[in-house]
């Protein structure tokens, strides 16, 4: 592997930073201490800092030379409401909160790049180091953009990275085009008319209507969207009734829809609504239809993806970059940034979990699992990627 020496030599400091953040996890928009740690490190290395963008977001700014060109490198910094099962020294000190998605490592990798870039200014232009809050459902990326991220910090392109368990350390995965899905949720209430269960003809049974709707919705996936397009429509909760001899007034269907394009999402939402309304109408019931779009699909831009692949190959070799990784139905709010700016998001292999020292829980080392731990071996690899990306993008004339 073609790692940057001074970063490799800085590994134990980066590990310390990562484990300190791991021990002090903070949830969506509460990342005060984490932001303090980041701002203190950046300031200590002579990097100007903007704070409070998107509530707790931090941006470090490293300028060099005279070029107007600029690039953004983004890390997320929030934790999850998960009770950690690990018992090693850096386990979470906060009950019910845990860095189970490795954002502690994402912060440390970007700090590693900041440390090196501030000392070796081998580029012409500006590097914006974006530390965003609330990736886990809070849409922190969008909040930073609403607070003027791209106007205060004008940049040509923006890049993101996430650790990926089950993929070998020293390898990367990426693909041009859609790489992660849009995430959306629905709650549909069927309003019927309650009755005695022995006299169903005197009511309008919302449970029968809800069942019809639930069945018919699956035909959207198989009969309405093109078979070439990918989508998932999952009903994850059905609530109705509380007695064996009472037909309830209403029934509720709750679930999620995932798609890789907004066009398919538009189609699914519109068809779900039509089926729900018309089915209810056919039975004399009504529906209250609520559909909420959370994160859009994450779509990598072709040119920036080709560029990222080239940089990755120069670090880990051609064979260790999967340039056509299978997209995942998971979601990521970096998608908002890629709607505004060209850029690319990559997966960095986190290994199988055998990096965990004694004291880890018994479960697998998957993201969002209570026995997960970020693999510290990745720190110099990820930091080297960030540095090479910035130096190559802002190459000196």
Contact string (CB under 5 A) for Zn ion, positions 200-239, x = contact: ----------------------------------------
Question: Whole-number minimum distance, CB 271 to Zn ion, in Å?
Answer: 30
- Piece in contact with Zn ion (CB under 5 A), picked from 52-60, 100-108, 137-145, 256-264: 100-108
101 versus 153: smaller Cβ distance to Zn ion: 101
101 versus 189: smaller Cβ distance to Zn ion: 101
- Piece in contact with Zn ion (CB under 5 A), picked from 97-105, 164-172, 236-244, 281-289: 97-105
Asked if residue 331 lies in contact with residue 294, where contact means CB atoms within 8 angstroms, the answer is yes
> Which residue, among 357, 364, 367, 378, has the nearest Cα to 91 in the 3D structure?
357
Question: Whole-number minimum distance, CB 295 to Zn ion, in Å?
Answer: 12
135 versus 391: smaller Cβ distance to Zn ion: 135
Q: How far is CA 314 from CA 47, 207, 300, 350, 386, in A?
A: 27, 59, 20, 19, 13
85 versus 101: smaller Cβ distance to Zn ion: 101
Q: Return d(Cα 62, Cα 47) in angstroms, integer.
A: 6
- Piece in contact with Zn ion (CB under 5 A), picked from 39-47, 98-106, 172-180, 196-204: 98-106
Question: Whole-number minimum distance, CB 78 to Zn ion, in Å?
Answer: 9
> Which residue, among 182, 164, 230, has the nearest Cα to 338 in the 3D structure?
182
If you search the block for the tokens 């300190």, which residue do you land on? 20
Q: Return d(Cα 60, Cα 73) in angstroms, integer.
A: 10
162 versus 388: smaller Cβ distance to Zn ion: 162
Question: Whole-number minimum distance, CB 322 to Zn ion, in Å?
Answer: 19
Q: Which residues pair with 195 in a beta bridge?
A: 247
Q: Exposed/middle/buried for 34, CB within 10 Å: 0-12, 13-18, 19+?
A: buried
Q: Return d(Cα 161, Cα 311) in angstroms, integer.
A: 14
- Piece in contact with Zn ion (CB under 5 A), picked from 94-102, 196-204, 249-257, 288-296: 94-102
Q: Return d(Cα 358, Cα 342) in angstroms, integer.
A: 42
DSSP 8-state symbol, 221 = I
Question: Whole-number minimum distance, CB 283 to Zn ion, in Å?
Answer: 40
Residue 101 engages Zn ion in binding (rule: CB under 5 A)? yes
Q: Return d(Cα 273, Cα 190) in angstroms, integer.
A: 12
162 versus 271: smaller Cβ distance to Zn ion: 162
Question: Whole-number minimum distance, CB 362 to Zn ion, in Å?
Answer: 21
Q: Segment 283-312, which members bind Zn ion (CB under 5 A)? A: none
Counting residues that bind Zn ion (by CB under 5 A) gives 1
Asked if residue 184 lies in contact with residue 218, where contact means CB atoms within 8 angstroms, the answer is no
79 versus 114: smaller Cβ distance to Zn ion: 79
Q: Return d(Cα 355, Cα 375) in angstroms, integer.
A: 6
Question: Whole-number minimum distance, CB 135 to Zn ion, in Å?
Answer: 6
Q: Which residue is nearest to Zn ion (CB)?
A: 101
- Piece in contact with Zn ion (CB under 5 A), picked from 63-71, 93-101, 111-119, 378-386: 93-101
**Neighbour order of strands in the sheet with 321-322:** 49-53, 57-64, 125-132, 70-76, 157-164, 343-349, 172-173, 321-322
101 versus 155: smaller Cβ distance to Zn ion: 101
Question: Whole-number minimum distance, CB 66 to Zn ion, in Å?
Answer: 37
If you search the block for the tokens 């941006």, which residue do you land on? 59
Question: Whole-number minimum distance, CB 158 to Zn ion, in Å?
Answer: 17
101 versus 169: smaller Cβ distance to Zn ion: 101
CA angle 334, 340, 342 (to 5 degrees): 80
Binding site for Zn ion (CB under 5 A): 101
């Amino acid at each position: 592997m073609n790692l940057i020496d001074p970063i490799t030599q800085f590994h134990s400091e980066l590990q310390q930073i990562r484990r300190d953040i791991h021990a002090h996890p903070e949830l969506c928009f509460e990342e005060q201490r984490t932001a303090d740690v980041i701002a203190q490190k950046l300031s200590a290395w002579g990097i100007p800092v903007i704070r409070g963008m998107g509530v707790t977001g931090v941006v470090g700014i490293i300028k060099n030379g005279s070029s107007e060109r600029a690039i953004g490198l983004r890390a997320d910094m929030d934790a999850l409401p998960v009770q950690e099962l690990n018992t090693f020294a850096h386990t979470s000190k906060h009950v019910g909160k845990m860095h189970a998605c490795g954002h502690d490592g994402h912060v440390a990798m970007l700090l590693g790049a900041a440390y090196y870039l501030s000392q070796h200014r081998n580029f012409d232009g500006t590097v914006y180091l974006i530390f965003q809050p609330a990736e886990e459902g809070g849409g922190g990326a969008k909040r930073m953009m609403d607070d003027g991220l791209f106007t205060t910090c004008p940049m040509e392109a923006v890049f993101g990275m996430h650790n990926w368990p089950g993929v070998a350390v020293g390898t990367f995965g990426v693909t041009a085009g859609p790489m992660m899905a849009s995430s959306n949720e629905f709650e549909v209430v069927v309003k019927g008319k309650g009755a005695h269960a022995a006299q169903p003809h005197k009511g309008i049974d919302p449970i029968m209507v809800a069942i019809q709707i639930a069945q018919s919705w699956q035909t959207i996936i198989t009969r309405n969207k093109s078979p070439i397009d990918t989508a998932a429509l999952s009903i994850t909760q059905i609530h109705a009734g509380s007695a064996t001899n009472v037909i309830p007034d209403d029934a509720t269907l709750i679930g999620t829809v995932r798609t890789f394009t907004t066009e398919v999402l538009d189609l699914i939402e519109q068809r779900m609504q039509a089926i729900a309304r018309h089915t209810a109408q056919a039975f004399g019931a009504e529906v209250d239809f609520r559909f909420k779009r959370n994160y859009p699909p994450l779509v990598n831009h072709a040119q920036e993806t080709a560029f990222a692949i080239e940089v990755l190959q120069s670090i880990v070799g051609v064979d260790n970059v999967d340039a056509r990784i299978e997209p995942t139905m998971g979601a990521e709010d970096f998608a908002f940034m890629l709607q505004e700016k060209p850029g690319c998001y990559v997966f960095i292999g986190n290994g199988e979990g055998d990096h965990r020292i004694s004291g880890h829980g018994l479960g697998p080392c998957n993201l969002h699992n209570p026995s997960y731990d970020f693999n510290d071996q990745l720190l110099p690899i990820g930091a080297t990627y960030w540095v090479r990306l910035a130096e190559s993008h802002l190459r000196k004339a």
